[in-house]
């Protein structure tokens, strides 16, 4: 076994012991295929008001500009799938990834542990950890390293486990053994495109982010445009539709991460309780939750917009 191969195995083994679903490795290089796609997506305004997407264009496409001396991108998946649902079928819905503790905290701690184990088992390796917080095209890197393919719903999909997982990376200055990309298995299926409530999936593999319910309920800081009245499918924070209808998610299994278990009161909140939620209840139920991103005022705005649909 070569040294590169040995190091790669050690990293994958450590990742598994930390609870990651899977780990793949690709060479830190310029994302040639993604460059024109990203440029076109931005020029068409499909990023909506997410002006930060326009920044650091070069860094987004080349991790060596983000981490000098970078040789490898280690991509990791962490499962968050649950079959638990909110009890009141008429209550405003939140995406299942936000049921428990904010994934940024959970994953960052695991990534730091992984870096620690790399230092202990391999030695002086330099690099940075990333969880959705820097200009890194995580889905592209995960696809390059064989963890799945980017599906027609623009999510990373795995034949083995579906798509209910978070993606994170280590970008490090160590040469490793690189994995091969996965092949596309969407076939002729258009379930996600057909089911999207706001028709944000404008064609296979292309999303108009400015129409996506996740964008409208989280990223958009101003009023939700009236054109989406009656189209929000009762989502108050994020949306799971294009994942729920994906046939590959029949292979999704329940996560084993205690931090992702929902707050004891969250799933039992009735429609009325959501609509009358006070700032203090919001602070208690969503104390360490990703829902904090939209703030109390943002969640109230979303719920009010939904109630106008009825």
Residue 308: what pLDDT? 85
Q: Are 167 and 290 in a shared domain? A: no
Q: Which residues pair with 24 in a beta bridge?
A: 75
Q: Are 137 and 216 in a shared domain? A: no
Residue 130 in any domain: the answer is yes
CA–CA dist 40, 147 (Å, integer): 25
CA–CA dist 89, 86 (Å, integer): 7
Domain that residue 165 falls in: 3-83+99-172
Instruction: State the DSSP H helix or E strand holding residue 73, giving kind and residue range, or none if neither.
Output: strand 72-79
Catalytic residues: 132
Residue 295: what pLDDT? 94
Domain boundary among 172, 200, 226: 172
Residue 142 in any domain: the answer is yes
Mark residue 56 as left, alpha or beta (left: phi above 0; alpha: psi -120 to 50; beta: remaining).
left
Decide: pTM greater than 0.75: yes
CA distances from 296 to 54, 93, 232, 236, 278 (A): 28, 15, 19, 12, 8
Domain boundary among 172, 202, 233: 172
Q: Tokens standing for 188?
A: 């002729």
Sign of the CA dihedral with 132 first, then 134, 139, and 145 last: negative
Q: Are 44 and 107 in a shared domain? A: yes
Q: Are 143 and 247 in a shared domain? A: no
Residue 256 in any domain: the answer is no
Q: Which residues pair with 12 in a beta bridge?
A: none
CA–CA dist 209, 219 (Å, integer): 10
CA angle, corner 123, sides to 118 and 127, nearest 5?
Answer: 60
Which tens digit of pLDDT belongs to each residue from 265-284?
999 999 999 999 999 999 99
Residue 39: what pLDDT? 83
Residue 123 in any domain: the answer is yes
Q: Which residues, including other chains, have CB under 8 Å from residue 202's CB and lie 6 or more apart?
A: 208, 211
Q: Are 267 and 295 in a shared domain? A: yes
Q: Are 54 and 111 in a shared domain? A: yes
3-state helix, strand, coil split of the chain in percent (to 5) is 40, 15, 45
Q: Tokens standing for 17?
A: 């012991």
Residue 31 in any domain: the answer is yes
Q: Tokens standing for 254?
A: 């329940």
Residue 58: what pLDDT? 85
Domain count, the chain: 2
CA–CA dist 260, 288 (Å, integer): 11
Map residue 210 onto helix, strand or coil.
Answer: helix
Q: Are 160 and 198 in a shared domain? A: no
Q: Are 140 and 17 in a shared domain? A: yes
Contact by Cβ (8 Å): 255, 80: yes
State phi, psi for 304 to the nearest 5 degrees.
-65, -40
Q: Are 34 and 151 in a shared domain? A: yes
Residue 177 in any domain: the answer is no
Residue 257 in any domain: the answer is no
Q: Are 78 and 212 in a shared domain? A: no
Residues of the chain where predicted confidence (pLDDT) is lower than 70: 309-310
CA–CA dist 240, 246 (Å, integer): 10
Q: Are 198 and 125 in a shared domain? A: no
Strands 127-130 and 165-172: antiparallel
Q: Are 52 and 150 in a shared domain? A: yes
The candidate with the shortest Cα–Cα distance to 207, out of 165, 253, 241, is 241
- Alpha-carbon Rg for the chain, nearest whole angstrom, is 20
């Amino acid at each position: 076994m070569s040294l590169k191969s040995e190091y790669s195995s050690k990293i994958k083994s450590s990742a598994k012991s930390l609870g990651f679903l899977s780990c793949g490795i690709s060479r830190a290089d310029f994302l040639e295929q993604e460059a024109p796609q990203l440029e076109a997506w931005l020029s068409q305004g499909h990023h909506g008001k997410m002006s930060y997407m326009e920044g650091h264009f070069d860094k987004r496409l080349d991790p060596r500009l983000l981490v000098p001396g970078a040789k490898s991108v280690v991509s990791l998946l962490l499962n968050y799938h649950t079959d638990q649902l909110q009890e009141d079928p008429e209550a405003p819905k939140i995406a299942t990834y936000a049921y428990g503790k904010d994934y940024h905290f959970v994953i960052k701690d695991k990534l730091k542990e992984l870096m620690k184990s790399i230092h202990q088992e391999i030695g002086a390796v330099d690099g940075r950890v990333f969880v959705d917080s820097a200009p890194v095209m995580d889905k592209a890197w995960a696809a390059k390293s064989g963890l799945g393919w980017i599906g027609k719903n623009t999510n990373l999909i795995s034949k083995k486990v579906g798509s209910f997982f978070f993606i994170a990376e280590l970008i490090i200055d160590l040469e490793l053994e690189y994995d091969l990309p996965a092949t596309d298995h969407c076939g002729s299926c258009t379930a996600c495109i057909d089911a999207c409530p706001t028709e944000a999936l404008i064609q296979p593999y292309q999303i108009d982010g400015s129409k996506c319910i996740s964008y409208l309920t989280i990223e958009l800081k101003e009023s939700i445009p009236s054109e989406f009245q009656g189209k929000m499918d009762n989502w108050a924070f994020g949306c799971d539709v294009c994942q729920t209808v994906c046939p590959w998610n029949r292979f999704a299994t329940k996560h084993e991460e205690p931090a992702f278990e929902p707050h004891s009161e969250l799933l039992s909140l009735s429609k009325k309780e959501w609509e009358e939620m006070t700032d203090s209840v919001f602070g208690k139920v969503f104390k360490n939750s990703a829902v904090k991103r939209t703030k109390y005022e943002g969640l109230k705005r979303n719920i009010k917009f939904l109630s106008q649909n009825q």
